[in-house]
């Protein structure tokens, strides 16, 4: 059952630069430089192609895989062939100023209507002021005023004639008209009047009373005559204002004759202008002075003519295609828009011209891309998006209105119909959590666009990577990469994927490597980036992040952390773990020890007992107990008491990648066979004794290699890994060189028996036909030890006259 160490060629899969059809990246025809995601692209095409409710998209996959770039590229390609959505404008509602109306216009017409209405306001000023300053208006107004004066004068003249016939005169005083008796054409004073005879006084008083009755009738008619005259003047004003506005409005109605909503709005504008024509006159003509003092209007407030402006909420180019919008801050008001306010005299004022569009308005008729996590952390943004998608309309509301925090009067703009495809980007766990916790999510986002983490490595994917490097070079204006540099980038991509048969799809990491390699090429004064510059960029990035790993190696070398890399010990093995800090992962060995004695079949995991072990680690330890009980001393009760622990471990431990190392330590303690401390172990194990694959195999091997190298020249050290992890090996050049020189070894292990033979130098042994293990083998020694424990326990209980607990019948 001897297992040979791996050859250096098995530790690293190189990319042959000669197989790349380029001298430098300048030779490549780059289109978009995106990494192929065929399954995701098909899902995107389906999602944007189906036009039924609820078929929005959720692109799920790790951050940095190019989800946004690929999604946006696919959407823009589709959007260029789609119709341009309409323009949307808000206009003044003449029936209810607090509810602005929404106008739907063909693309590009919004800006035209705004310009035409601005020009209309200027033209109305000139036309209305001109018509009210015209000779015709003055003549007709003067005629109406003279007619009123003539009628009043005629009425008072009749009273004068009647008074003259009766020796009474009509006098006009500062307080009005009065009647007085006359004699010889002169008014009589009070004394003269009283000097008259009683008969004359009675006759004159009777005449004056009758004249006063006639005069009262005339005076009572005068306000009515004045009112009718004012009405006729007002009618004249309206007639003149209508005449001034009609031609201007009719011209616009003819221009927008095919848009019924615009024509209806223009008719309302015409009626409102005629109704409020004085607002177009000079300030002195708009209203009479108050107590002789002219009070100017509020200079900080909006002008009256603001109500005739057009608020182009969203305008489009006629040839732009459907919009593709990315909402980088998907807060509530950023999605649905907002209503701005101005401060005046300690109060907030607003009007329809202060309505602003949101991302949903901008993407209406096209596509909206949103980062799921950013959306979910914004207050009420997710609920708002769901509500609007379900209602298929955009309703502008502030958070204060929704939450009823304030009850002040504000605008309620007319909702706008919503027709948009929403594409959310997020990690997989966000997608699955939403599916699990929000029933409405699956109704609204029925298309999952699942991005691959890795690509199958081969000539096609190598070419894809070369094109991606070329695209990054051209996009950022970098130096071109030669074929060896591209090959090194591809090799590093396989290392990032932890698989020599795959390449990572984490394009952000590759893009960073390309830019950093260009920096080092520039530092060397080279015009082209070579493989050495790529390697220098990789090494420099590690050097910037490996402080903790260096400190751990230093403490191991100084003896603070107890790790042995030579000699042999019973019940002690070097396990391997991976630590990840800030995106940098490194391996580090840990001493694992096992102690055994006579007991009641207990296998104590000290990490679990003190709550430092996670559930997966605890599961691995329980699997060891199942393996021991199912392989050895099948006819005897398990009378073992064992303890397992990670020495000098002061933090949490999770994962089962050390379960094989723990089992080796336990077997060593039971068989009383020392384990070579020059070897380290990784791999999980099942109850059948098969060694299973683990993660971070490259970091673990290199971590033990660095620890051994830090102590001096390597002398036959090595690592045992699961055979199923061989395809994941992409080891550093110095590790491969040490393996080639025979100073370090990597053993592929398929079973616990293979591993224990290498660690102890003793054959594991297989059961023969008589059910026994070969004498002297590891398994025979373990079984003999367990049988011995069982017999000793039986003998102890026999002395006490008791039945061993493991043999008692169940009640």
Catalytic residues: 657, 700
- Residue 127 near residue 249 (C-beta atoms within 8 A): no
Spell out the alpha helix ranges (H) of 672-711.
697-710
Q: CA–CA separation, 749 vs 3, rounded Å?
A: 7
- Residue 587 near residue 699 (C-beta atoms within 8 A): yes
748 to 399, 502, 699, 754, 755: CA distances (angstroms) = 62, 20, 16, 9, 9
Q: CA–CA separation, 804 vs 794, rounded Å?
A: 6
Q: What is the distance, to the nearest Å, from the Cα of residue 796 to the centroid of all Cα atoms in its chain?
A: 70
Q: Helix count (H) and strand count (E) of the chain?
A: 27, 30
Backbone angles phi, psi at 409, to 5 degrees: -70, 130
Reduce the DSSP state of residue 162 to 3 states and report it: helix
Helix axes 483-496, 531-545, angle to 10 degrees: 40
Report which of 748, 733, 706 is spatially closest to residue 495, judged by C-alpha positions: 733
738 to 642, 657, 717, 774: CA distances (angstroms) = 38, 25, 10, 36
Instruction: Tokens for 432, please give them.
Output: 């699955």
- Residue 85 near residue 322 (C-beta atoms within 8 A): yes
Strand order in the sheet with 679-681: 602-605, 640-646, 584-598, 572-581, 679-681, 717-722, 744-749
**Count of positions (residues) in the chain:** 811
User: Based on the number of CB atoms within 10 Å of its own CB, is 9 exposed (0-12), middle (13-18) or buried (19 or more)?
Assistant: exposed
Q: What is the distance, to the nearest Å, from the Cα of residue 659 to the centroid of all Cα atoms in its chain?
A: 41
Q: CA–CA separation, 170 vs 211, rounded Å?
A: 9
DSSP-derived pairing of the beta strands 602-605 and 640-646? parallel
Q: CA–CA separation, 388 vs 385, rounded Å?
A: 5
Instruction: Tokens for 781, please give them.
Output: 């020694």
Number of other CB atoms surrounding residue 257 within 10 Å: 10
């Amino acid at each position: 059952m001897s297992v040979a160490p791996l050859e250096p060629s098995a530790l690293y899969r190189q990319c042959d630069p000669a197989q790349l059809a380029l001298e430098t990246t300048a030779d490549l025809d780059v289109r978009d430089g995106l990494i192929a995601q065929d399954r995701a692209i098909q899902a995107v095409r389906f999602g944007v192609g189906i036009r039924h409710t609820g078929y929005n998209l959720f692109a799920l996959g790790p951050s940095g895989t190019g989800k946004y770039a690929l999604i946006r590229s696919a959407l823009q390609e589709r959007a260029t062939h789609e119709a341009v959505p309409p323009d949307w404008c808000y206009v003044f509602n003449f029936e209810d100023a607090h509810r602005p109306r929404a106008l739907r216009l063909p693309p590009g017409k919004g800006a035209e209507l705004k310009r035409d209405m601005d020009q209309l306001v200027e033209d109305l000023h000139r036309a209305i002021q001109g018509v009210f300053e015209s000779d015709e208006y003055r003549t007709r107004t003067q005629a109406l005023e003279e007619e009123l004066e003539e009628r009043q004068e005629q009425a008072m003249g009749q009273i004068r004639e009647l008074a003259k016939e009766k020796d009474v005169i009509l006098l006009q005083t500062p307080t009005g008209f009065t009647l007085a008796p006359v004699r010889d054409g002169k008014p009589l004073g009070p004394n003269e009047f009283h000097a008259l005879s009683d008969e004359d006084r009675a006759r004159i008083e009777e005449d004056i009373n009758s004249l006063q009755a006639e005069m009262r009738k005339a005076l009572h008619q005068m306000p009515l005559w004045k009112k009718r005259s004012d009405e006729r003047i007002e009618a004249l004003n309206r007639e003149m204002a209508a005449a001034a506005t009609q031609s201007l409005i009719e011209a616009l109605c003819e221009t927008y004759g095919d848009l019924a909503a615009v024509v209806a709005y223009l008719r309302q504008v015409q009626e409102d202008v005629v109704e409020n024509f004085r607002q177009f006159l000079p300030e002195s003509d708009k209203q009479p002075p108050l107590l002789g003092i002219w009070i100017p209007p509020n200079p900080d407030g909006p002008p009256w003519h603001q109500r005739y402006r057009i608020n182009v909420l969203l305008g489009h180019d006629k040839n732009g295609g459907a919009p593709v919008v990315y909402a980088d801050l998907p807060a509530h008001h950023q999605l649905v828009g907002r209503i701005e306010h101005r401060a005046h005299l300690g109060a907030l004022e607003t009007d329809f011209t202060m309505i602003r569009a949101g991302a949903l308005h901008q993407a209406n008729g096209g596509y909206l891309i949103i980062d799921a996590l950013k959306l979910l952390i914004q207050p009420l943004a997710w609920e708002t998006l769901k509500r609007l998608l379900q209602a298929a309309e955009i309703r502008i509301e502030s958070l204060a209105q929704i939450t009823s925090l304030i009850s002040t009067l504000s605008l309620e703009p007319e909702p706008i119909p919503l027709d948009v495809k929403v594409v959310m980007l997020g990690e997989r766990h966000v997608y699955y959590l939403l599916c699990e916790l929000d029933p409405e999510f699956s109704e609204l986002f029925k298309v999952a666009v699942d991005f691959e983490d890795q690509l199958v490595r081969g000539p096609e994917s190598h070419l894809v990577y070369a094109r991606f490097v070329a695209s990054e070079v051209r996009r950022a204006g970098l130096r071109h990469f030669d074929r060896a540099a591209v090959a090194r980038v591809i090799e590093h991509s396989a290392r990032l994927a932890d698989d020599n048969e795959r390449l990572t799809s984490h394009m952000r990491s590759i893009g960073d490597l390309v830019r950093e390699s260009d920096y080092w090429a520039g530092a060397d004064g080279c015009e082209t980036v070579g493989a050495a510059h790529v390697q220098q960029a990789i090494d420099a990035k590690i050097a910037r992040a490996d402080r903790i790993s260096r400190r751990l190696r230093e403490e191991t070398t100084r003896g603070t952390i107890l790790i042995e890399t030579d000699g042999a010990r019973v019940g002690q093995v070097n396990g391997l773990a991976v630590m990840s800090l800030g995106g940098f992962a490194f391996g580090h060995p840990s001493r694992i020890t096992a102690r055994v004695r006579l007991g009641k079949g207990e296998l104590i995991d000290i990490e679990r007992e003190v709550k430092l072990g996670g559930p997966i680690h605890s599961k691995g330890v329980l699997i060891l107990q199942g393996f021991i009980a199912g392989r050895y001393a099948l006819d005897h009760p398990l009378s073992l008491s064992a303890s397992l622990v990670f020495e000098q471990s002061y933090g949490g431990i999770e994962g089962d990648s050390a379960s094989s190392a723990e089992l080796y330590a336990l077997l060593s303690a039971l068989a009383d066979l020392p384990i070579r401390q020059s070897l380290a172990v990784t791999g999980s194990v099942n109850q059948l004794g098969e060694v299973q694959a683990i993660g971070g195999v490259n970091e673990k091997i290199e971590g033990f290699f660095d620890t051994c190298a830090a102590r001096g020249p390597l002398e036959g050290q090595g690592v045992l890994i699961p055979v199923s992890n061989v395809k994941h090996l992409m080891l550093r050049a110095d590790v491969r060189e040490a393996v080639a020189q025979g100073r370090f070894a990597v053993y592929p292990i398929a079973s616990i028996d293979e591993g224990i033979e290498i660690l102890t130098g003793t054959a594991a042994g297989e059961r023969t036909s008589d059910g026994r293990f070969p004498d002297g083998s590891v398994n025979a020694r373990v079984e003999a030890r367990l049988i011995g424990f069982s017999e000793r326990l039986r003998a102890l209980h026999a002395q006490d006259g008791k039945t061993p607990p493991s043999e008692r019948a169940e009640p």
